[in-house]
Structure formats: structure tokens, C-alpha cells
Amino acid sequence: MDSGNASARKPLCAMIERARVDVVVHAFYDKLRAHPEMSGFFSHIEDFAQHEQHIAVFWWWAMGGRAERQRPFDMNGRHQPLGLNERAFEQWLAIFCETLHEQLPRELAEAWFDLAQGIGANLQRMMLEGKRPFILDRL
């Protein structure tokens, strides 16, 4: 029998669990909405509970969980109108990292942050360097 680390074979979604994703997303958006430089990016959102739910579904899906809907996540279409710059991406990642480490054990926080860094880098490259649209549709 394989004596390797069983958690290394589990998808991240199975280790973090769906309810914890919701808690992290809510805590993260509380910080963003209170942040003097980041809050403006969210002023157009009318139903924040719905927005947080949408983002939680995205993260759950990105971690390997089953999506609860059949519509692709249009990363470019949602973020392009915001006029994000390199500083905004850096702050987003820093606040997300802080939130993850406050809400999760270190190993899980680091695993989720690795995923966030990859997604953030792809989105940033696409938006700031004009690469092709980044649409996630693995549903």
C-alpha cells in the first residue's frame, strides 16, 4: 500500500471544504471594501452577497470542486472595465494572502495562495500586456 501523504493526493477543495471557502471569501471582501485604495473597485456592486457567492463558486471550481452553475467565468470581461494596474494586483494578492493566513492553517493557506498567484498572474498578463481573453469554462 502507498505510504505517501494522502492529503497530497486530495484536491484542494476536499482539504479546504466549501463552507471554509465562503468564510475566506467573505473575510477577504470585508478587507477589500474597507481598504482605502481597493474599495473603489467594488463601488459598482449592488448585491455584495451575490457577488461573494459568485466568487466563492469560482474559487471552489478552481480548487477542483464541482461548479454549481454552467456559465463560464469571464475573467477579462469582469475585470477589464475596472482599469486595474500593477499596484492593484499587488495589493489584491497581499490582502488575499493575509486573509488566507488568518482563516486557514498555514499549509492550506499556502496552497490556495499558490493557486491565486497563478490565476492573478494570468489575469494581469492578459489585462496589462493585451494577451488573449482569459475565460474559464471547465464546467
In tens, the pLDDT along 104-125 reads: 999 999 999 999 998 888 777 7
What's at 36, amino acid-wise?
Answer: P
Residue 97 lies in a domain: yes
Residue 5 lies in a domain: no
User: In whole angstroms, what is the distance from residue 89 CA to residue 101 CA?
Assistant: 18
Residue 94 lies in a domain: yes
54 is in an annotated binding site: yes
Residue 9 lies in a domain: no
Full-model pTM = 0.79
Task: Over range 6-31, report the average pLDDT.
Answer: 89
**Predicted confidence band at 74 (pLDDT cuts at 50, 70, 90)?**
low
pLDDT of residue 48: 87
Range(s) of the domain holding residue 132: 15-136
User: In whole angstroms, what is the distance from residue 83 CA to residue 40 CA?
Assistant: 11
Q: Between 106-129 and 86-103, two packed helices, what is the crossing angle to 10 degrees?
A: 170
Q: Tell me, what CATH number does 119's domain have?
A: 1.10.490.10
- pLDDT(139) > 60: no
Residue 10 lies in a domain: no
What's at 71, amino acid-wise?
Answer: R
Provide the domain count of the chain.
1
- pLDDT(92) > 70: yes
pLDDT of residue 54: 86
